[in-house]
Amino acid sequence: MVQLRLPKDSVVKLGKTWPAPEGATNLRKFQIYRWDPDAGENPRVDTYFVDLDTCGPMVLDALIKIKNEIDPGLTFRRSCREGICGSCAMNIDGVNTLACTRGMDEINGTVKIYPLPHMPVVKDLVPDLTHFYAQHASIMPWLETKTSTPVKEWLQSIEDRKKLDGLYECVMCACCSTSCPSYWWNGDKYLGPAALLHAYRWIIDSRDEATGERLDQLEDPFKLYRCHTIMNCTKTCPKNLNPAKAIAQIKGMMVDRVI
């Protein structure tokens, strides 16, 4: 029988329990993943207590409060606080989501926060998205045209424009790709839900003139066909998009052009 063991330095240990705010009566417990590559120590989970009477309603509000008032070393990404930039993507209560749009009242009991799964960690809750962004760049996320550039804008009918709804809204947070088992095991070759959603967005854009080339680029055993329609991507998307449907549409186009 094959025995698999994690490296000793990857085992997550119980970390520090920080003291609760004095005099607070409405406390919420947080358990947060911590790892500093410069410390030379194993990852740990620290415990914090937040006074909800002096905190906003979202998980990101609590993280900011912890960093400002309890533990300034806690590291995470954030920017817009409106679910637009995708910066604060993390695993909260076992689900990949945005900390700025996840309400604490949606979570029962202790709030458990980890970085996005199966991604290299830069520090604490910050994943390394270098490979993720490179995959996005590989699908040529721009208009490819062969005709001369028009004097004004590229015209598009209302019907053609509507085809882009449910695609262009992606904020590149990586929640979908990091929830996909196929991406976990084949992320070096499989492009993943986010990149393929964007690929379909440009494939069906009526202004684009490189549909054939785009499909040729995806005609590969791994880039596209590692999707097994598990649907984790659609379930976890904080923008309520459907990457699995977009991938299925690309597969259908692949079939249509050979029959």
Instruction: Please state, in angstroms and rounded to a whole number, the distance separating the CA atoms of residues 101 and 89.
Output: 10
Segment 179-193, tens digit of pLDDT: 999 999 999 999 999
- pLDDT attached to residue 258: 81
- pLDDT attached to residue 1: 52
Confidence band, pLDDT 50/70/90 cuts, at residue 63: very high
Instruction: Please state, in angstroms and rounded to a whole number, the distance separating the CA atoms of residues 47 and 50.
Output: 10
Cα four-point dihedral sign 130, 131, 134, 135: negative
129-257 CATH choice from 1.10.1060.10, 1.20.950.20, 3.40.1160.10, 3.40.800.10: 1.10.1060.10
Instruction: Please state, in angstroms and rounded to a whole number, the distance separating the CA atoms of residues 32 and 248.
Output: 36
Contacts within 8 Å (CB) and 24+ apart, 253-258: 253/203, 253/215, 254/215, 254/218, 254/219, 254/224, 257/212, 257/215
Instruction: Please state, in angstroms and rounded to a whole number, the distance separating the CA atoms of residues 225 and 190.
Output: 8
| 221-238 mean pLDDT | 97
Segment 108-150, tens digit of pLDDT: 999 999 999 999 999 999 999 999 999 999 999 999 998 888 8
DSSP secondary structure letter of residue 104: G
By DSSP bridging, strand 111-114 and strand 27-34 are parallel
DSSP secondary structure letter of residue 36: -
- CATH number for the region 13-127 comes to 3.10.20.30
- pLDDT attached to residue 148: 86
| 16-20 mean pLDDT | 96
- pLDDT attached to residue 230: 97
The ranges assigned to domains in the chain are 13-127, 129-257
The per-residue DSSP string of 42-99 comes to --EEEEEEEEGGGS-SBHHHHHHHHHHHT-TT-------SSSSS-TTEEEETTEEEET
| 222-240 mean pLDDT | 98
- pLDDT attached to residue 161: 97
- pLDDT attached to residue 110: 98
- pLDDT attached to residue 10: 79
